[in-house]
């Protein structure tokens, strides 16, 4: 992923305090970001993707099968590592089977919503004028309207059966999820549109489509990636919420529906933590992996956001004695072998 | 003077005032928004093998003028003539125009896309205009291009990305890209102001060479009157969207006709100066949303007369090929104080001037 | 209004006020550290305008910010001392000072004007707040009323009327904002005002107006100015002495006129010939070949030698020391001046005697000055 | 002021769109809502008039044009007539909502303000002390930002109610008939509100922390913050110079956040069986109480718009650049 950032620009003759002649900053634009956040995020996400793919296959039991007639969930044991539900189904098996639909729906929703936001955001930003006014208005309306009540009224009228279909659910989620990306992309496009290199392309006679395709969109890649991750994150949360509310077919295992069933018998007030904690943590960690990746991209776009402790390798010497504090440049006497 | 390649006749540009667009907040559609009178009735000729410098402060409209001439924006009124004909419109014609008129922008750190290498930047004009087939022919032409801007060996530069080049090198690449189509006119919008002091002259000299070797008509936009004097054959001075003086470079700097030009010269840094310069016309340019009537400089002008508020001064001759838009130069009306083509040198005007004006006022 | 503003009683021009010795500044630490400033010695005297000239990346701003300990991360000072002489005769080393000590001497002894006043003024605070809060922090017993009066007085000093007190920065023009910055810098009557490209973003007429006011204020109040800019031609007009930096090193320091009339370092000479003249015949000029170096990959020996048309064989291997030359405490770091007799003619022009100096009014004189560059 | 006028126009437009969506959804979605209602009512005999009323409300078995129905719908909305709630014994929807609204407004309003203030303060602190152990807070906040509200609600109940028994796990107050407004009642209500509010604060503060931290870090690079330090101001004052500016983007991004928070809060209410709009909403869906559903969507949207308007006023008040824009 070779991406350059529009904001990354040397200041020319004006030398601001603390800004180096931009060489270092500029070459950064071409390196694969390797911040710990991105690595941790990628590893976590990879684990979830693997679970989504092979989870149902490696599940020790059929998640629908009841093992006993008791209505009291069993805590974790050798036979059921994560215990059982009130119907005596194996929690681990449900957990392993539930990742696929969550990830799939979120992914589809992310793709559709991102496509929508790129088309609408870039068009609005590049065209400007009335098209921009109308499209921005539309995006802002979708942003302001609270998504969950809208989804609930939609599913209320659609009836629960329609929520069985992953594609329909993904579609409905993407309708409520595109606006944020469109707004961000519009703003970025607007600033790119007035970049000198876009004017330069226009000056040599490039067509509008070529300019959008080769000058603008490639420079939006980090923003699009971040918007995509954000939408997938939103999709995970929303799908889980819908399933939690019981609008997804009960045969269709997902982490949200596990939480739905545990809530049905008040697992949280009965102390059956092994039932709701695993799916909840799975959703939270899946979300965390996406959020970390997003954070990494943000830091990549704007290196100033980096936490000093997590990136680069600050000298151990300084950490003990003189911590850098704002408005008081550190003095670290070091023999650097003067020429 | 030979026939101009590019000519502006009465170019005027009014911009709608922006209201928070780009903040991401919704805005109401345009309903009678106020306008900025950015460029007002400017006429200009660019002859071949000739550098015309446009000098002015920020907000004087000089960059807008360059963009109008490059047809990046279209004028509110007025005409752009290419080789004596009205400049063509439409997509095909736009390409035709781009083959004749090219532009170099101010900031070499922004005018090259950080994602594309030099090869991409230089090959595009050839491809867009169908001037070279990909392969050996294209490579040869690009090498030739780099040589024309003194970036050798070409191979070493073609593979580089903008961030691997210094400011001066970037600006040379930008110039090379503009030269690919073998244009007749090169518009250069502050091409050196973002560069380090020590390498500015190199780029200016390159522009001078292009004028001499390739007979290019060059428009050099700058706020630095000393560099205009160094490079240009003719200097045009703009103030608040209007053209206030034009003439041969040395005539304008050595015998300025307009009070604003004199002010500009007296304010410019000059190590040779022995005493503090005397600034005549302190203050700031007027609002261009509601520009003053008549001469836009009158509020600051030490010689302002009643007529300055009533009528926009036309261009009066002030020497060979030298003219100024100032009622002081109106010899027929007997208003003109400084007789002859050589008004006072900048900064120290004869006291007689003032008393003369007083009589007319 | 200026009657009760007292310039320090025993201040005499010429005493050292700020002494920088062997200052080294890096960006980053460890093996990726970039040496932004290397071993700089500089002295600012009472009432003096000391110009610091150099191109982007020369370290001029870094030097000033580091000396006042205001340089941001990842900037780190790795060596040197910065001695501030108080009126009372006591001396403080800024590099050894703690947070509290620094806070006390900031603005009351050393204040700062930076390039773009739009960014230097807080956009959401009124001019009044920004003018008075330094007073409130440093003079706790000052009443609200007298702080306001002082703010009005300060604005008056830079020609801004009192009704602007309630304004916010966005309501002022660029020139006005920079005037407010200057007024603010003088609020506590500091001995030193550091000005980092204070007029670069302004139009030339506004720039000239502000410089005039500045020099006028300096004459009235006697503070010293460290004036940082890339515009050497401007500096020659306003500075008493000038230090030229290149790639983080000081290459030459001399009085402004001596530097202008008789530069001793080829880089200074090249810079001087990078500014076209406003008068006289137009002669071709060349600037300096090549580009300023990347601080990550500095050339060996004298950092300037790859761009120097006089470079000797030894320049590629040995870095020249900063050595005294001529009179008036001028120093230069160039092998060509070892011994001075061996220097090429362009770098060996006679120094102008400050007293005997007369304006070279003739065009011939200027042509001669520029002749060197016409090669 | 122009900014405010512009925003008002935008909210008006959004409200119109929301009301139109509310009107259109039952009409464009396949299926016959009236039949669904009748099916659910089973046995209960409904008068012909009632059925005709339902038909009109959902535009089925009617010859009136869509446009006329639309105008009629608007008339009803403007009169506060949102239909009758079929699952609550045919009480007016507006009455049902009026009973639940204060619970949600109180809970969400207070929790949002607390989470904004807390998150902003922590964000400032984390940014200012960049490079210290506080940086480790960021991955943790990322976790809370990603965890669903209702999962945090589960954890809160499991820990503080089931295990520790400190606080009640559900309802808005003890089941008392006609509670009197006295201290016992108030403290009981507060007792019941603590866990839901804590859930909302913990889940939503993470977003404010991260956004404030990021803007603050960027703002600290501004020259005016450096000048504040150069002036020798006290540290708190220097932080204020930066924070005062950095808080503005947080407020202007409020519209983005409030939708999420409200959605999350509704889910939280469901977990806690809190007697607010969330619980009504989920019951309305399961009972096919379409009128209530529509009414709830409308009220929630309008409340979110109102919250946005308040945020805009605050923004205009805090930013002199906008304030003076005539």
Instruction: Please report how many Cα atoms fall inside a 13 Å half-sphere around the Cα of residue A8, on the Cβ side.
Output: 27
Range D46-60 average pLDDT: 71
> Does any domain span residue A2?
no
> Does any domain span residue B351?
yes
What is the rounded distance in angstroms from the CA atom of residue B122 to the CA atom of residue B172? Answer: 11
Would you list which residues of chain A are within 8 Å, Cβ to Cβ, of chain C?
11-18, 20-21, 23-24, 308, 313-315, 317-318, 324-336, 338-339
Question: Is the minimum CB–CB distance between C137 and chain B shorter than 8 Å?
Answer: no
Q: Tens digit of pLDDT for each residue in B175-219? A: 999 999 999 999 999 999 888 888 899 999 999 999 999 999 999
List C-alpha distances in Å: B324 to B242, B257, C167.
11, 6, 39
> Does any domain span residue B292?
yes
Query: Quick one: pLDDT band at residue C243, thresholds 50, 70, 90?
Result: very high
Supply B78's token pair.
């007025």
Helix (H) or strand (E) holding C83: strand C75-85
Total domain count for chain A? 1
| Cβ within 8 Å, pair A16-C115 | yes
Q: What is the pLDDT of residue C117?
A: 57
Residues near A137 by beta carbon (within 8 Å), at least 6 away in sequence:
B26, D10, D13
Tell me the residue range of the domain where B333 lies.
256-360
C-interface mutation test, from B20, B252, B265, B272, most C Cβ less than 10 A away:
B272
> Does any domain span residue B193?
no
| Cβ within 8 Å, pair B26-D3 | no
What is the signed CA dihedral for D23, D24, D26, D29, rounded to 10 degrees?
-170
Supply A291's token pair.
């959020």
Q: Name the β-bridge partners of C229.
A: C53
What is the rounded distance in angstroms from the CA atom of residue C107 to the CA atom of residue B303? Answer: 43
Name the D residues in 209-248 with CB < 8 Å from any C CB.
Answer: 221-224, 226-234, 237, 241, 244-245, 248
> Does any domain span residue A74?
no
> Does any domain span residue A335?
no
Share of chain B above pLDDT 70, in %: 86
Range D164-175 average pLDDT: 69
Q: What is the pLDDT of residue C320?
A: 93
> Does any domain span residue B210?
no
List C-alpha distances in Å: C183 to C105, C113, C132, C151, C176.
18, 10, 11, 8, 10
> Does any domain span residue B107?
no
- The answer to whether D148 touches A244, Cβ cutoff 8 Å, is yes
Other CB atoms within a 10 A radius of the CB of residue C11 amount to: 16
List strands edge to edge, sheet with B6-16: B35-46, B6-16, B77-82, B85-86
Predicted structure pTM score: 0.84
> Does any domain span residue A270?
yes
More confident residue, A52 or C23: C23
| Cβ within 8 Å, pair B263-C366 | no
Chain A hits for D170, CB-CB cut-off 8 Å, are 269
Listed residue (B121, B118, B115, B119) closest to A2, CA to CA: B115
Walking along chain A (339 residues) 10 residues at a time, the average pLDDT comes out as 30 30 38 70 87 79 71 71 72 79 89 93 86 85 84 75 72 87 89 88 89 90 88 89 79 79 75 78 88 82 60 39 68 64
Q: Taken in order D180, D181, D182, D183, is the CA torsion positive or negative?
A: positive
What is the rounded distance in angstroms from the CA atom of residue A128 to the CA atom of residue D22? Answer: 31
Q: Tens digit of pLDDT for each residue in B74-122? A: 899 998 998 888 877 666 778 888 999 999 998 888 899 988 999 999 9
Supply B108's token pair.
């070499």
Q: Pairing relation of β-strands C16-27 and C75-85?
A: antiparallel
ipTM: 0.82
Question: Is the minimum CB–CB distance between D318 and chain C shorter than 8 Å?
Answer: yes
Can you state the percent helix, strand and coil of chain C, rounding each to 5? 35, 20, 45
Q: What is the pLDDT of residue B357?
A: 39
Listed residue (C240, C241, C290, C294) closest to C266, CA to CA: C290
Other CB atoms within a 10 A radius of the CB of residue D166 amount to: 11
- The answer to whether C97 touches C69, Cβ cutoff 8 Å, is yes
Supply B62's token pair.
């000089």
Q: What is the pLDDT of residue C14?
A: 66
Q: What is the pLDDT of residue B218?
A: 96
CATH number at residue A263: 1.10.3720.10
The two most distant CA atoms of chain B are separated, in Å, by 74
Q: Tens digit of pLDDT for each residue in D241-270? A: 999 999 998 888 777 788 888 888 888 888
Work out the burial of residue A127: count CB atoms within 10 Å of its CB; fewer than 13 is exposed, 13-18 middle, 19 or more buried. middle
Q: What is the pLDDT of residue A302?
A: 72
Supply B345's token pair.
């040198």
Length of chain A: 339
Q: What is the pLDDT of residue A200?
A: 92
Q: Name the β-bridge partners of B219.
A: B52, B187
> Does any domain span residue B261?
yes
Report cis status (omega within 30 of 0) of the bond before B153. yes
The two most distant CA atoms of chain D are separated, in Å, by 81
Look at the block and give the residue holding tokens 């907000």. B59
| Residue D70 pLDDT > 60 | yes
- The answer to whether C332 touches C323, Cβ cutoff 8 Å, is yes
Q: What is the pLDDT of residue A248?
A: 74
Helix (H) or strand (E) holding A234: helix A217-244
| Cβ within 8 Å, pair C277-B272 | yes
| Residue D176 pLDDT > 90 | no
Q: How far is A292 from chain C (nearest CA, A)?
A: 24
Question: Is the minimum CB–CB distance between A17 and chain D shorter than 8 Å?
Answer: yes
Alpha helices in B56-159 (DSSP H): 62-70, 91-100, 118-128, 136-148, 154-158
List C-alpha distances in Å: D101 to A332, D203, D267, D281.
61, 22, 15, 12
Supply C254's token pair.
């001399």
What is the rounded distance in angstroms from the CA atom of residue C58 to the CA atom of residue C154? Answer: 34
Q: Tens digit of pLDDT for each residue in B247-272? A: 999 999 999 999 999 999 999 998 88
List C-alpha distances in Å: B288 to A17, A234, A282, B263, B303.
34, 48, 61, 20, 22
Supply C367's token pair.
């042509």
Q: What is the pLDDT of residue B51?
A: 96
| Residue C128 pLDDT > 90 | yes
A-interface mutation test, from B22, B66, B173, most A Cβ less than 10 A away:
B22
> Does any domain span residue A44?
yes
Total domain count for chain B? 1
What is the rounded distance in angstroms from the CA atom of residue D136 to the CA atom of residue D134? Answer: 5
Residues near A261 by beta carbon (within 8 Å), at least 6 away in sequence:
A85, A86, A87, A250
Chain D hits for A292, CB-CB cut-off 8 Å, are 139, 142
Other CB atoms within a 10 A radius of the CB of residue C47 amount to: 21
Listed residue (D139, D130, D143) closest to D213, CA to CA: D130
Q: How far is D253 from chain B (nearest CA, A)?
A: 10
> Does any domain span residue A326?
no
> What does the radius of gyration of chain B's CA atoms come to, in whole angstroms?
22
| Residue D279 pLDDT > 90 | no
Helix (H) or strand (E) holding C93: strand C91-93
| Residue C21 pLDDT > 90 | yes
- The answer to whether C114 touches C198, Cβ cutoff 8 Å, is yes
Q: Pairing relation of β-strands B316-319 and C241-246?
A: unpaired
> Does any domain span residue B280?
yes
Range C241-247 average pLDDT: 95
Chains with ≥3 CB–CB distances under 8 Å to A: B, C, D
Listed residue (D257, C18, B214, C107) closest to A144, CA to CA: D257
Name the A residues in 46-85 with CB < 8 Å from any D CB.
Answer: none
Length of chain B: 361
Q: How far is D45 from chain A (nearest CA, A)?
A: 23
More confident residue, A298 or C232: C232
Query: Quick one: pLDDT band at residue D46, thresholds 50, 70, 90?
Result: low
Range C331-340 average pLDDT: 89
| Cβ within 8 Å, pair A186-B195 | no
CA D211-D217-D220 angle, 5° bins: 135
Look at the block and give the residue holding tokens 């909210």. D11
Would you list which residues of chain B are within 8 Å, Cβ to Cβ, of chain D?
19-20, 25-28
C344 Ramachandran zone, left/alpha/beta (phi>0; psi -120 to 50): beta
Alpha helices in chain D (DSSP H): 2-28, 33-41, 48-58, 66-78, 93-128, 137-146, 149-156, 183-219, 223-230, 235-252, 254-272, 277-286, 290-318, 320-323
Look at the block and give the residue holding tokens 């403080």. C92
What is the rounded distance in angstroms from the CA atom of residue B270 to the CA atom of residue B192? Answer: 19
| Cβ within 8 Å, pair B24-A215 | no
> Does any domain span residue A76?
no
A292 — phi, psi (to 5°)?
A: -65, -45
> Does any domain span residue A20?
no
Supply C9's token pair.
């009683």
Tell me the residue range of the domain where A223 lies.
33-62+82-307
Query: Quick one: pLDDT band at residue C294, thresholds 50, 70, 90?
Result: confident
Look at the block and give the residue holding tokens 């460029």. B39
What is the rounded distance in angstroms from the CA atom of residue B302 to the CA atom of residue B281? Answer: 6
Q: Which of A14, A315, A329 sits opposite C200 (nearest CB)?
A: A14
Supply C39's token pair.
């071993």
What is the rounded distance in angstroms from the CA atom of residue B179 to the CA atom of residue B99? Answer: 9
Other CB atoms within a 10 A radius of the CB of residue C127 amount to: 25
Would you list which residues of chain D are within 8 Å, Cβ to Cβ, of chain B?
2-3, 6-7, 9-10, 252, 325
Chain D hits for C171, CB-CB cut-off 8 Å, are 324
Helix (H) or strand (E) holding B222: strand B217-222
Strand, coil or helix: A145: coil
What is the rounded distance in angstroms from the CA atom of residue A24 to the CA atom of residue A21? Answer: 8
C246 — phi, psi (to 5°)?
A: -145, 125
């Amino acid at each position: 992923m070779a991406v350059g950032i529009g904001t990354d620009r040397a200041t020319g003759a004006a030398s601001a305090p603390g800004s180096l002649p931009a060489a270092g900053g500029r070459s950064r634009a071409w390196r694969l970001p390797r911040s710990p956040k991105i690595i941790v995020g990628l590893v976590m996400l990879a684990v979830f993707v693997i679970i989504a793919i092979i989870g149902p296959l490696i599940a020790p039991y059929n998640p629908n099968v009841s093992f006993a007639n008791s209505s009291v969930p069993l805590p974790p044991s050798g036979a059921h590592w994560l215990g059982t539900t009130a119907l005596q189904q194996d929690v681990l098996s449900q957990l392993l089977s539930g990742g696929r639909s969550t990830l799939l729906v979120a992914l589809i929703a992310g793709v559709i919503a991102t496509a929508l936001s790129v088309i609408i955001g870039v068009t609005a930003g590049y065209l400007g004028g009335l098209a921009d006014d109308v499209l921005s208005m539309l995006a802002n309306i979708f942003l302001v309207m609270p998504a969950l009540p809208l989804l609930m009224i939609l599913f209320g009228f659609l009836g629960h059966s329609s929520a069985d279909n992953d594609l329909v659910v993904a579609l409905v989620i993407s309708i409520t999820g595109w606006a944020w990306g469109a707004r961000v992309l519009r703003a970025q496009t607007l600033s790119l549109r007035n970049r000198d290199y876009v004017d330069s392309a226009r000056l040599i006679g490039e067509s509008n489509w070529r300019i959008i395709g080769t000058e603008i969109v490639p420079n939006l890649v980090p923003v699009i990636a971040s918007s995509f991750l954000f939408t997938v994150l939103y999709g995970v949360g929303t799908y889980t919420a819908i399933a939690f509310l019981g609008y997804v077919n009960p045969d269709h295992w997902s982490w949200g529906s596990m939480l739905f069933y545990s809530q049905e018998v008040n697992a949280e007030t009965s102390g059956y933590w092994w039932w709701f904690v695993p799916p909840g943590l799975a959703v939270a960690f899946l979300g965390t992996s996406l959020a970390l990746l997003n954070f990494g991209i943000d830091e990549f776009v704007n290196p100033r956001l980096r936490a000093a402790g997590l990136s680069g390798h600050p000298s151990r010497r300084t950490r003990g004695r003189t911590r850098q504090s704002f408005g008081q440049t550190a003095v670290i006497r070091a023999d650097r072998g003067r020429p | 003077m030979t026939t101009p390649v590019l000519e502006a006749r009465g170019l005027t540009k009014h911009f709608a005032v922006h209201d928070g667009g780009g903040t991401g907040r919704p805005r109401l559609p345009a309903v009678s928004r106020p306008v900025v009178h950015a460029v007002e009735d400017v006429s200009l000729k660019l002859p071949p093998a000739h550098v015309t410098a446009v000098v002015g402060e920020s907000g004087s409209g000089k960059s807008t003028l360059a963009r109008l001439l490059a047809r990046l924006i279209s004028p509110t009124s007025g005409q752009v003539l290419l080789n004596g004909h009205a400049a063509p419109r439409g997509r095909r014609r736009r390409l035709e125009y781009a083959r004749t008129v090219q532009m170099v922008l101010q900031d070499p750190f922004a005018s090259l896309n950080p994602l594309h290498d030099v090869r991409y930047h230089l090959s595009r004009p050839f491809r867009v205009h169908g001037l070279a087939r990909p392969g050996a022919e294209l490579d040869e032409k690009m090498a030739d291009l780099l040589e024309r801007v003194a970036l050798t060996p070409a191979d070493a530069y073609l593979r580089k990305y903008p961030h691997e080049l210094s400011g001066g090198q970037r600006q040379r690449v930008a110039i090379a890209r503009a030269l690919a189509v073998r244009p007749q006119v090169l518009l250069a919008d502050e091409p050196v102001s973002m560069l380090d002091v020590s390498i500015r002259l190199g780029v200016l000299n390159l522009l001078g060479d292009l004028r001499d070797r390739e007979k290019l008509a060059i428009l050099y936009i700058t706020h630095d009157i000393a560099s205009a004097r160094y490079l240009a054959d003719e200097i045009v001075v703009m103030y608040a969207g209007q053209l206030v003086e034009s003439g041969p470079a040395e005539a304008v700097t050595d015998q300025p006709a307009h009070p604003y030009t004199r002010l500009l010269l007296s304010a410019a840094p000059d190590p040779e100066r022995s005493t503090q310069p005397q600034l005549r016309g302190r203050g700031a340019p007027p609002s261009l949303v509601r520009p003053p009537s008549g001469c836009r400089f009158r509020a600051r002008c030490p010689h302002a007369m009643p007529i300055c508020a009533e009528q926009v001064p036309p261009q009066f001759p002030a020497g060979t090929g030298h003219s100024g838009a100032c009622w002081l130069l109106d010899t027929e009306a007997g208003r003109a104080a400084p007789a002859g083509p050589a008004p006072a040198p900048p900064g120290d005007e004869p006291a007689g001037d003032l008393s003369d004006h007083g009589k007319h006022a | 209004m200026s009657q009760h503003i007292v310039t320090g009683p025993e201040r005499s021009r010429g005493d050292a006020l700020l002494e920088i010795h062997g200052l080294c500044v890096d960006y980053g630490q460890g093996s990726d550290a970039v040496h932004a400033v290397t071993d700089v010695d500089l002295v600012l005297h009472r009432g003096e305008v000391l110009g610091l000239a150099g191109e982007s990346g020369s370290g001029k701003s870094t030097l000033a910010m580091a000396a006042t300990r205001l340089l941001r991360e990842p900037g780190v000072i790795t060596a040197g001392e910065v001695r501030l002489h108080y009126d009372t005769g006591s001396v403080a080393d800024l590099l050894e000072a703690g947070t509290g000590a620094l806070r006390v001497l900031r603005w009351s002894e050393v204040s700062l004007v930076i390039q773009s006043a739009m960014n230097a003024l807080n956009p959401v605070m009124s001019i009044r707040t920004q003018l008075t809060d330094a007073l409130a922090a440093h003079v706790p017993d000052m009443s609200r009323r007298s702080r306001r009066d002082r703010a009005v007085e300060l604005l008056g000093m830079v020609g801004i009327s009192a009704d602007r007190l309630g304004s916010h920065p966005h309501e002022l023009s660029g020139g006005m904002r920079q005037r407010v910055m200057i007024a603010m810098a003088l609020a506590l009557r500091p001995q030193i005002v550091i000005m980092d490209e204070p007029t670069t973003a302004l139009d030339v007429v506004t720039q000239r107006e502000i410089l005039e006011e500045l020099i006028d204020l300096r004459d009235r109040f006697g503070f010293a100015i460290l004036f940082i800019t890339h515009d050497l031609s401007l500096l020659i007009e306003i500075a008493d002495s000038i230090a030229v930096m290149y790639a983080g090193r000081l290459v030459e320091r001399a009085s402004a006129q001596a530097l202008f009339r008789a530069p001793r370092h080829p880089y200074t000479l090249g810079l001087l010939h990078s500014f076209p003249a406003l008068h006289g015949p137009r002669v071709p000029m060349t600037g300096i070949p090549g580009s300023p170096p990347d601080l990550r990959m500095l050339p060996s020996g004298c950092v300037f030698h790859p761009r120097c048309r006089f470079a000797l064989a030894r320049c590629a291997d040995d870095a020249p020391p900063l050595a005294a030359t001529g009179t008036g405490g001028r120093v230069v770091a160039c092998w060509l001046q070892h011994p001075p007799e061996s220097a090429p003619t362009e770098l060996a022009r006679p120094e102008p005697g400050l007293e005997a100096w007369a304006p070279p009014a003739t065009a011939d004189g200027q042509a001669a000055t520029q002749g060197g560059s016409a090669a | 002021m122009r900014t405010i006028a512009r925003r008002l126009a935008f909210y008006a437009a959004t409200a119109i769109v929301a009301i139109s969506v509310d009107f259109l959804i039952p009409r464009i979605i396949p299926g016959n809502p009236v039949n669904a209602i009748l099916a659910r009512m089973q046995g209960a005999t409904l008068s012909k008039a009632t059925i005709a009323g339902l038909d009109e409300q959902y535009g089925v078995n009617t010859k009136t044009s869509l446009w006329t129905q639309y105008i009629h719908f608007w008339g009803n909305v403007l009169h506060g007539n949102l239909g009758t709630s079929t699952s609550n014994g045919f009480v007016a929807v507006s009455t049902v909502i009026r009973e639940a609204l204060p619970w949600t407004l109180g809970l969400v309003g207070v929790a949002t303000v607390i989470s904004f203030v807390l998150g902003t303060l922590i964000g400032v602190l984390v940014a200012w002390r960049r490079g210290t152990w506080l940086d480790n807070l960021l991955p943790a906040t990322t976790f809370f930002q990603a965890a669903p509200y209702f999962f945090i609600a589960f954890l809160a109940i499991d820990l503080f109610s089931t295990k520790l028994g400190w606080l009640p796990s559900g309802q808005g107050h003890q089941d008392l008939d006609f509670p009197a407004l006295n201290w016992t009642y108030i403290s009981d209500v507060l007792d019941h509100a603590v866990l839901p509010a804590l859930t909302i604060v913990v889940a939503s503060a993470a977003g404010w922390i991260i956004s404030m931290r990021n803007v603050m870090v960027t703002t600290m690079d501004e020259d005016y913050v450096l000048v504040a330090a150069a002036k020798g101001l006290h540290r708190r004052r220097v932080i204020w110079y930066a924070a005062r500016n950095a808080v503005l983007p947080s407020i202007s991004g409020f519209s983005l956040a409030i939708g999420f928070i409200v959605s999350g809060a509704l889910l939280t209410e469901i977990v806690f069986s809190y007697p607010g709009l969330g619980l009504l909403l989920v019951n309305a869906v399961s009972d096919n109480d379409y009128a209530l559903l529509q009414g709830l969507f409308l009220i929630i949207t309008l409340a979110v718009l109102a919250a946005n308007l308040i945020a805009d006023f605050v923004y205009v008040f805090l930013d002199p650049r906008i304030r003076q824009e005539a």
